[in-house]
Amino acid sequence: MKVTINDVAKYAGVSIKTVSRVTNNEPSVKQATVDKVNEAIKALNYQPNLAARNLAGTKSYAIGFIYDNPNAYYIIDMQNGILAACKDKGYELVIHPCNAKSETICDELTALVKYSRLAGLVLTPPLSEDPKVLKALTEIDANYVRIIAGEKDKDQNGLTILVNDKFGAVEITQHLIDLGHQHIAFLSGDLHHESTKERLLGFKQALTINGLELDENYIIEGKYSFESGVDGANKLIKLEHRPTAIVACNDEIAAGALFAARLAGLDIPVDLSIVGFEDSPFSRQTWPKLTTVHQPNAEIAQVATELLIAKRREQDAIYSKTFTPEPIIRDSSAIPKP
């Protein structure tokens, strides 16, 4: 017969409520009692039933991961980070991809919270930056944590994880300038993402700091995709005075740019330096391997989820944390040809 919570309580010599508190990682239980219950759980091979927990009380033990992002590596890293926090705290994960541009996105997310009985949401860009989405979730008292690009939270809107993309862009552009590059192009991601705006701002700031003139022909709008990198690089390569280096808004774009450049017969990095952003597996799977900016997405997601759960349990917790991406120098950048 299947082991029940009653069996665990009897074996440990405690109440059913105490077993529930231990399995839910509630902080009010003495360590000696926690050890006793965990010993019983291990001895009986007890497996808590999430559905039963959710139906039995007013609390939910499921966290929703909400995203609209074409980058599979980004999604996997975020998912792994959230899962790590959920497993540690006794929660489960509900994954919900969506279209941030949909006219019914607010109704979609509020319905998800209500009918899936979610304890909270981890929101990633561009949803975490959409005032309409945040207003709709606030109106139904939904718990959420936002992961956003920026140096500070302009809106002061609840739990926030800040990623200082501008700093990372300044640093990676400065790396190219220090190598001697003066003609540097920028391949953009989707413009409705704040990360794109922050990275472009950092790129421009690095040029200004070093007294370099910005050539608007070197700014190519695109999307966060390999194909966008191919298209953008082809446009730059065809210019009469092509750049000697490219800053791509993420590694997927950079990989596409590298592919296009090599098809055009260019030697990377001798003829053209290319750098990316995020330090995804793309950066290590290309040849040469990409110089990029390390962004610890799994850690970012884990910390975001831990803040969300801590707030829900009314534990003392910080409401904001900032991550600062840093350059990783590999083989796709070098001094420009004389």
Q: Give the chain's radius of gyration (CA, Å).
A: 24
* Token digits of residue 312: 């829900």
Is-contact 107 128, C-beta < 8 A? no
* Chain position carrying tokens 């290590």: 284
Phi and psi based region of residue 229 (left: phi greater than 0; alpha: psi -120 to 50; beta: remaining)? alpha
Q: What percent of the chain stands above pLDDT 70?
A: 91
How much is the mean pLDDT over the chain? Answer: 88
Residue 118 has pLDDT above 80, yes or no: yes
Who's near 37: CB < 8 A, 6+ residues apart? 8, 12, 14, 18, 19, 22, 23
Residue 1 has pLDDT above 70, yes or no: no
pLDDT band, very low/low/confident/very high, at 70 (cuts 50, 70, 90): confident
Least confident of 8-12, 206-210, 264-268, 332-336: 8-12
Helix (H, G, I), strand (E, B) or coil at 97: strand
pLDDT tens per residue across span 89-116: 888 898 989 998 889 999 999 888 888 7
Residue 324 has pLDDT above 60, yes or no: yes
Least confident of 34-48, 195-209, 224-238, 239-253: 34-48
Higher-scoring residue by pLDDT: 42, 182: 182
28/182 Cα distance (integer angstroms): 60
Distance, CA of 257 to chain centre: 23
Query: Residue 148 carries which side chain, given as an amino acid letter?
Result: I
Who's near 141: CB < 8 A, 6+ residues apart? none
147/323 Cα distance (integer angstroms): 10
b/e per residue 183-207 (b: at least 16 CB within 10 A): bbbbbbbbeebbbbbbbbebbbbbb
pLDDT band, very low/low/confident/very high, at 314 (cuts 50, 70, 90): low
Dihedral of alpha carbons 31, 46, 54, 76, sign: positive
Is-contact 1 44, C-beta < 8 A? no
Residue 303 has pLDDT above 60, yes or no: yes
Across 240-260, average pLDDT: 95
The pTM of the full predicted model, rounded to 2 decimals, is 0.78
Is-contact 63 91, C-beta < 8 A? yes
Across 130-136, average pLDDT: 91
**Between the CA of residue 273 and those of 172, 229, 260, 262, 287, what are the distances in Å?**
12, 14, 13, 12, 12
Distance, CA of 258 to chain centre: 24
**Between the CA of residue 264 and those of 88, 192, 230, 241, 271, what are the distances in Å?**
50, 31, 11, 15, 11
